[in-house]
Structure 1
Amino acid sequence: MTHRQENVRAARGRFHLLRGSRKDEAAGADYFDYNLLAVVILLTAFGLVMQYSVTAYSMLQVKGHPFMKQILVCAGGMVILIVASRIDYHGLAKGSGLLFAGSILLVIATRFIGKNVNGATRWIDLGFIQFQPSEVAKLAVILYIPVLITMMGTKFGKYKRAPARILGLGLLTAFLVYKFTDNLSTAIIIFGICFVMVIVAHPHPRGLVALFFAALAAVYPVYLVLKSIFQTASSTSFRYRRILTWLNPEKYQKEGGYQVMQGLYAIGSGGLFGKGLGNSAQKLGVLPEAENDMIFAIVCEELGLVGAFILTGLFIYLLYRLFFIALNAPDRLGALIVVGIFSHVAIQVVLNIAVVLSIIPTTGITLPFVSSGGTSLWFLMAEMGIALNISGQIIERKKS
């Protein structure tokens, strides 16, 4: 048997022995994170209340009520959460390679069989719902990258090429999502998830952390360069227009600045306690995508700064519970999966709020659990269910 074959067999052995690696410890009670379940329910309920408030006006304009569809979506999401929480994450990890390959094929297929909505071909119409393959890619990365890192074992920390290969795979996935669905925001989220998992898994992440902070330090100089370039640029590219809009929304209202300005008006008019639930003026056909990407602006307008802080606090507590589960996960595989889920939620929340506050250029990113939509919520619920399954395998030590 060659040295390479021995390494492969050893890696496979480590993977199959992951389950129960801490079950052999001192007897204790099984733990289940009811706090995580509670905050997920609270966020979903908060989202339903805001969806009813935002879409109540549309009930007078069209037949039917989109809120009823959102209730069904949330109900389906809770079923998915319960089912996912009862499936052993080790079994999901074993099939993550097929899920990853399938997600890439779906992303590529979107270019050819996808449905064009508002100028973007990112959805596959299934009849009862518009399915977004990029959401499958997020979940696939969250499950598959930890498996690869776990299979590498100690090699991941010893060899410089190991983290580079993982980051390369994440970058390739992000590129394919961008290339075939023209969804830059999701591509950024996917690579961000991969980057965070690599930093957490690597025993000596100083170089990667230094690279990250160097990139942050370069943001302002890059901003100045972009400002000097795009203020004089004349291009039909919608990405150029978005940057121009971000730099000067008052001047480029027809190119998208109108949405930015109306969102800021909504936030500013809310004050400390808001106008009251249901009393938003911007939702009356003034603010585009009020129930989707810009719903945080409506939260600020109706519930004020206090409501925005409450919602932000719920997200922070959700991230804290995920951090707790990752810290106490029964094995490395489970810890890294929860780190991926943590990264997904954190990056998406930060980017959505940053867009609404006009800190970064506008891009189509929903606010988790609050914005309307089916695919994104269902996959978020699946991720929460996986996190709950991992929490259920934590050993709660009995006090002696």
Structure 2
Amino acid sequence: MPDSVKKRKYDYTLLTALFLLLLIGLVILYSTSAYNGEVKFHDSFYYLKKQVFATSLGIAGMFLMAQIDYRRLRKFAVPAYLAAVLLSVAVLLVGDEYNGSKRWLSLGPFSFQPSEFAKIAVILFLAAVVTKNADKMGQMRTLLKIMLSVLPIAGLVGASNLSTAIIILGIAVTLVFTASPKYGQFIWMGVIGCGFMAVFLALESYRLERLAIWRNPEAYEKGYQTLQGLYAIGSGGLFGRGLGESVQKLGFVPEAQNDMIFSIICEELGLFGAGFILLLFLILIWRFFRIASHAEDLFGALIAAGAMAHMMIQVILNIAVVTNTIPNTGITLPFISYGGTSVVFLLMEMGVVLSVSSLVK
């Protein structure tokens, strides 16, 4: 029976963990954003309503993508990557600035972050390129050519959003590593990557300032958010103050519903609540790994591996920033933080992975 006629069987463990994350995320988002919504817009449900709308769009997009044979997406890989590059250029030229960062493009009453689209575009692009060069992946020249191919989008996105550039480069390294039969050459790639990051950080003084704030947040006014987030985490203890009982979200942690939402999770739900959410993320990552390991072909395996790298890196970066383990880079917690563009494209990415899972061996 042709694949298009077969009844598709999706990874229901992945779907269960995903919908639990979405549901918990909406509850936590309302708890975290109600105060800001009331103060700024006289509507405590303001952020929740927008997130529910975006989540509904994303779920529809996810099931639509899940119905499409992922192998058909291969011919759209290069156009999607070029579109991501053009959109990133448009952000630099005519993008909207918010809180000092130019990351948004406006289309009438709607605005979105092209960097979120860039992540899924890079996954498809690299999966197609690596698959095409599968028999040459043992050559250092091939690895460098593939890594160089993503530098334009990494540089364009990194000009205003360093954290997303790190995620894109992390996805690239993961996919190349997955398909490469030799591992010694990654030492040289790591050295080159560290040099690239050093130059990139030195190009803008504010990036060096973030390093100083990270080392000693008490000495800088911009370290206020980090300190308040740490206070929130510390005050939550093992079991938290209780859902809705956070003190730090009442204006002490700026924009608590965005990058710093994990600190409010720790304050309200404690170590156990935060640990349960991390467990759901681990289940997602485990299922991505299993799908990649049992995929029907290399292209599908690389798509699942790219999604795994994306989720893993973004979660680690967000929690590391909130706990001041690394300098502040402004990165959201997937499915939990407020952000319509993020949740829509994340769910569409999940749809592509579900398409891969429906045809596992």
Q: TM-score, normalised by structure 2?
A: 0.92
Counterpart-to-counterpart distance in 2, 1:96 and 1:211? 24
Contact 2:232 2:248 in 1 (8 A): yes
Counterpart-to-counterpart distance in 2, 1:297 and 1:363? 15
- Aligned position for 2:154: 174
SS state at 2:251 partner: coil
Matched, 1:198 2:173: no
Counterpart-to-counterpart distance in 1, 2:288 and 2:204? 43
SS state at 1:121 partner: strand
Give 1:249 deviation, angstroms: 0.7
Contact 1:31 1:394 in 2 (8 A): no
- Aligned position for 1:162: 142
Give 1:238 deviation, angstroms: 2.1
Question: Counterparts of 1:243-258 in structure 2 under 5 Å?
Answer: 243-252=211-220, 254=221, 256-258=222-224
Counterpart-to-counterpart distance in 2, 1:330 and 1:31? 14
Matched, 1:304 2:270: yes
Alignment match of 1:208 (pick from 186, 195, 208)? 186
Counterpart-to-counterpart distance in 1, 2:209 and 2:134? 46
Give 1:236 deviation, angstroms: 9.2
SS state at 1:124 partner: strand
Give 1:385 deviation, angstroms: 0.3
Alignment match of 1:37 (pick from 10, 15, 23)? 15
Counterpart-to-counterpart distance in 2, 1:333 and 1:353? 31
Alignment match of 2:239 (pick from 254, 273, 277)? 273
After the TM superposition, which of the residue ranges 238-247 and 59-68 deviates more from structure 2? 59-68
Give 1:29 deviation, angstroms: 8.6
Give 1:215 deviation, angstroms: 8.0
Identical residues among aligned pairs (%): 45
- Aligned position for 2:118: 137
Counterpart-to-counterpart distance in 1, 2:245 and 2:225? 19
- Aligned position for 1:8: none
Counterpart-to-counterpart distance in 2, 1:48 and 1:210? 43
| Count of matched residue positions in the alignment of Structure 1 and Structure 2 | 351
- Aligned position for 1:388: 354
Aligned residue type for 2:131:
T
Q: Once superposed, which parts of structure 1, at least 4 consecutive aligned residues long, lie more than 3 Å away? A: 28-31, 209-216
Q: Which structure's CA Rg is the greater one? A: 1
Contact 1:30 1:394 in 2 (8 A): no
Alignment match of 2:315 (pick from 333, 349, 371)? 349
Aligned residue type for 1:43:
L
Change (3 A) 1:349 1:79: same
Aligned residue type for 1:161:
R
Contact 1:124 1:130 in 2 (8 A): yes
Give unmatched runs, 5+ long, in structure 1.
Answer: 1-19, 396-400
Contact 1:33 1:388 in 2 (8 A): yes
SS state at 1:280 partner: coil
Change (3 A) 1:236 1:84: closer
SS state at 1:95 partner: helix
Contact 1:116 1:123 in 2 (8 A): yes
Counterpart-to-counterpart distance in 2, 1:171 and 1:35? 35
- Aligned position for 2:209: 241
Give 1:31 deviation, angstroms: 4.0
> Which whole-Å deviations, capped at 9, do the CAs of 1:45-103 have from their partners, x for residues lacking one?
11101011012223432333221111111111111111111111111111111111111
Counterpart-to-counterpart distance in 1, 2:356 and 2:36? 41
Matched, 1:91 2:72: yes
> Which whole-Å deviations, capped at 9, do the CAs of 1:310-345 have from their partners, x for residues lacking one?
011110011001101000001000000111111011
Aligned residue type for 1:299:
I
Counterpart-to-counterpart distance in 1, 2:330 and 2:77? 27
- Aligned position for 1:376: 342
Contact 2:288 2:305 in 1 (8 A): yes
After the TM superposition, which of the residue ranges 351-360 and 118-127 deviates more from structure 2? 118-127
> Which whole-Å deviations, capped at 9, do the CAs of 1:119-160 have from their partners, x for residues lacking one?
111100123432111112111110011111111231222x32
Contact 1:138 1:190 in 2 (8 A): yes
Counterpart-to-counterpart distance in 1, 2:47 and 2:103? 21
